[in-house]
Structure 1
Amino acid sequence: MGKTGGGGSARWSWGRGRVLGSAAVLTALLLVFHSAVPDTPAHLGSLLETFLPWLGLAVPVLLVGGLLRRSYTALCALLLPAVAWSALFGGLLLPGGSDDGDLTVVQHNVSDVNPDPAGTARALRATGADLIAMEELMPAAIPVYQEVLGADYPYHATQGTVGLWSAYPLSDVRKTDIKPQGIAYGWDRGMRATARTPHGDVAVYVAHLPSVRMGATGFRAAWRNESATLLGEALAAEPLDRVILLGDLNSTLDDRGLSPVTSRMTRPDTDAAFSWPAKLPLARIDQILTRSAAVTHLWSLPATGSDHLPVAAHVTF
């Protein structure tokens, strides 16, 4: 009666499950002290922070292990990562924020190989957003987007491969130079414009930071980080109080590589809104950040012809 198959004891024990308990403690430490993980030379810290919420998957795995081992030690230790994850990311499980806002904005990397730009434009127009930002705009596709969006968004501006369509007048449109050294001339992925909204002038930035890659030498993010520093400097120098940043920043907001940007802006405190990859979204690398304003609701939209999902937000001043 007191034994199970395989020679294991049916009784719960404090002596078993020490490896599981150690794994639980390590998971909690990585969640809480992720900034202590070195970021050079392979940018492992950035890699960890890019997918930090997914460390929560360790909790149910370790829970099953602790139950199978009948280990008090494992289950008690499991409280540490469970509490840490809940404190950091529990808000992602709560219902969405307010549906009210002064502006509705949309951010979308439309993909340079999008097979249906007209369909993508119609999907973005259907949102009724006040501002629509796009990245990976190819010259041949710009007239297609303009044809679909022009009636509802009579004001638009493009710079290189980024663009902005607006229901309100745009002025002081100019390039924002975020090109890292070492990238060839002609790489042009940043712009700034003033939108004259009913709530006052708003500086709107559209940016597409360089991609990151996994390689033999680790997580390659140096160009992305350099570009983020340049974007952060532009935001710091912006004279208008109200700022909206719309862009494909090629990482999540927990990634320390984006700190030159995130330290100068207010990050949304609501909703996961994962945007990439479109077929199985694992992270939100398409961002909507504000200054002297708040994102009250953030959500991802249905897939278009891009490998990213569009992301929309209500912004309140």
Structure 2
Amino acid sequence: MQIIPTTPGRPSPSLSIKSILAVLLLAVMGTAILSVRPVPGPAQASANPARIRVMTYNIRHAEGLDGQVNPESIVRDLRHNQADLIALQEVDRLKWRSGLTDQAHYFADALGMHYAFAPAIRSGLSQYGVMLLSRYPLESVQVHDLGGIKEPRSLLTAEVRLGGERVTVATTHLGLTPADRQRQLPRLESALQSVRTPLVLMGDFNSGLQDPQLAACIRELRLSPFPLRTPGPTVRSGGEIDHILTNLPEEGKCWTEPTRASDHLPVHGSLMLTAQAAAERA
């Protein structure tokens, strides 16, 4: 059963029908904290790419700057750069504010990509969290609880096979307050210290790279920030808080794209996966 996303100009189903659909969908999905589903697309990704395109995007549950929830606008942003690995934050599942849509499945189905979703916050039947989208099957998927005082947060990790190499991709959305981040960053660091593959960590860190604790975490994990071509804010009326961190060589610099589909900008980049790149990491 599929819930039709709310779109401008289309009347929403009555609340009683929505409630029934939500209950039935939850019965199918179960209440596990982690959902991983393959959604095969029409186009096959190269099994041995020389480079991969990556993207991180806080979608604010698909609420645009006009105050309307429109997941189709997010899909247009996601399609624009044709990224191979996508990290999304503030994704809703079965929440009233976003029309009781399972946004994780909606985005994966629209793009024909594999996906994993991990809620950080649950209230009754509704969930809110982070997700990964991938042109390649996601393996060894794990969710790590990062805790939080104001709001709980999580770290979602998975492995993808790219040619003869495994790459770990991860996403998180850290707390709004310094107190929350002081609790969450050590847990994030601990969860990722055992990673032995190349690592791409993407997300909304709610702090700039000059933040001492974030900078220390990046150093301990031996990651490098993927610098923006044009430094600037990644969130409306804010700073550069959405980052791509990696130990893979970057192809040029990453960049943002203008959008009105969210209060954050999507951040894009291209990473190298050649034999030379592997030698440089050794």
What's the TM-score, normalizing by structure 1? 0.58
Indicate the residue corresponding to 1:174 in structure 2.
142
Q: Quick check: 1:232–1:260 contact (8 Å CA) kept in 2?
A: no
Distance 1:230 1:251 in 2: 17
How much does 1:189 deviate?
2.6
Q: Distance in 1 between matches of 2:87 and 2:102?
A: 15
Runs of 4+ in 1 over 6 A off after TM superposition: none
Q: Deviations over 1:211-248 (max 9, x none)?
A: 13xxxxxxxx12112211211122212132x0000110
Change (3 A) 1:228 1:178: same
- Confirm or deny that 1:106 pairs with 2:40: no
| Aligned with 1:283 (options 239, 247, 259) | 239
Query: Compared with structure 1, are the counterparts of its residues 299 and 270 closer, same or farther at alpha carbon in structure 2 (3 Å cutoff)?
Result: closer
Partner Cα separation in structure 2 for residue 273 and residue 207 of structure 1 = 22
How do residues 238-257 of structure 1 correspond to structure 2 at under 5 angstroms? 238-240=195-197, 242-257=198-213
Contact 1:125 1:149 in 2 (8 A): no
Q: Deviations over 1:153-173 (max 9, x none)?
A: 431000010001100111011
Cα distance change, pair 144–236 in 1 and its aligned pair in 2 (3 A): closer
Aligned-pair RMSD on alpha carbons? 2.4
- Residue identity matched to 2:145: D
Q: Structure 2 unaligned segments of length 5 or more: list them.
A: 1-49, 64-68, 120-128, 274-282
Secondary structure of 1:136's match?
strand
For residues 275 and 200 of structure 1, the distance between their equivalents in structure 2, rounded to whole angstroms, comes to 34
* Residue in 2 that maps onto 1:190: 155
The amino acid across from 1:298 in the alignment is C
More strand by share: 2
Cα separation, 2, equivalents of 1:118 and 1:145: 13
Find the counterpart in structure 2 of residue 8 from structure 1.
none
Shift of 1:271: 2.2
- TM-superposed CA distance for 1:283, in Å, is 2.2
Distance 1:230 1:260, change over 3 A: farther
**Quick one: distance in 2 between partners of 1:251 and 1:224?**
9
Correspondence 1:135 to 2:92: no
Paired with 1:227 and 1:285, the residues of 2 have a C-alpha distance of 16
Answering whether residue 117 of structure 2 is matched by residue 158 of structure 1, we say yes
Contact conserved, 1:110 with 1:136, CA < 8 A, in 2?
yes
The whole-number CA distance in structure 1 between the counterparts of 2:134 and 2:145 is 22
Structure 1 residues 188 and 224: CA distance shift in structure 2, 3 A? closer
- Aligned residue type for 1:123: D
Displacement after TM superposition at 1:275 (Å): 4.1
Seen in structure 2, the aligned counterparts of structure 1 residues 208 and 295 have a Cα distance that, compared at 3 Å, is farther
C-alpha separation between the residues in 1 aligned to 2:112 and 2:260? Answer: 20
What is the CA–CA distance in structure 2 between the aligned matches of 1:295 and 1:274, rounded to whole Å? 20
Residues 1:124 and 2:124 are matched in the alignment: no
Q: Judging by fraction of residues, say which structure has more helix.
A: 1
The residue type paired with residue 162 of structure 1 is: V
**2:108·2:115 contact (CA, 8 Å) conserved in 1?**
no
CA distance in 1, matches of 2:249, 2:225: 10
**Offset at residue 295 of structure 1 (A):** 5.5
CA deviation after TM superposition for structure 1 residue 290, in Å? 0.2
Aligned pair in 2 of structure 1 residues 285, 304: CA closer, same or farther (>3 Å)? same
Q: Secondary structure at the match of 2:270?
A: strand
Instruction: Say if 1:297 and 1:183 are closer, same or farther in 2 by CA, change over 3 A.
Output: same
- Give the 3 Å change call, closer, same or farther, for CA 308–269 of structure 1 in structure 2: closer
Please say if residues 118 and 144 of structure 1, whose CA atoms lie closer than 8 Å, have aligned partners that are also in contact.
no
Q: TM-score, normalised by structure 2?
A: 0.65
User: In structure 2, what is the equivalent of residue 20 of structure 1?
Assistant: none
The equivalent residue for 1:236 is 193
Q: How many residues align?
A: 204
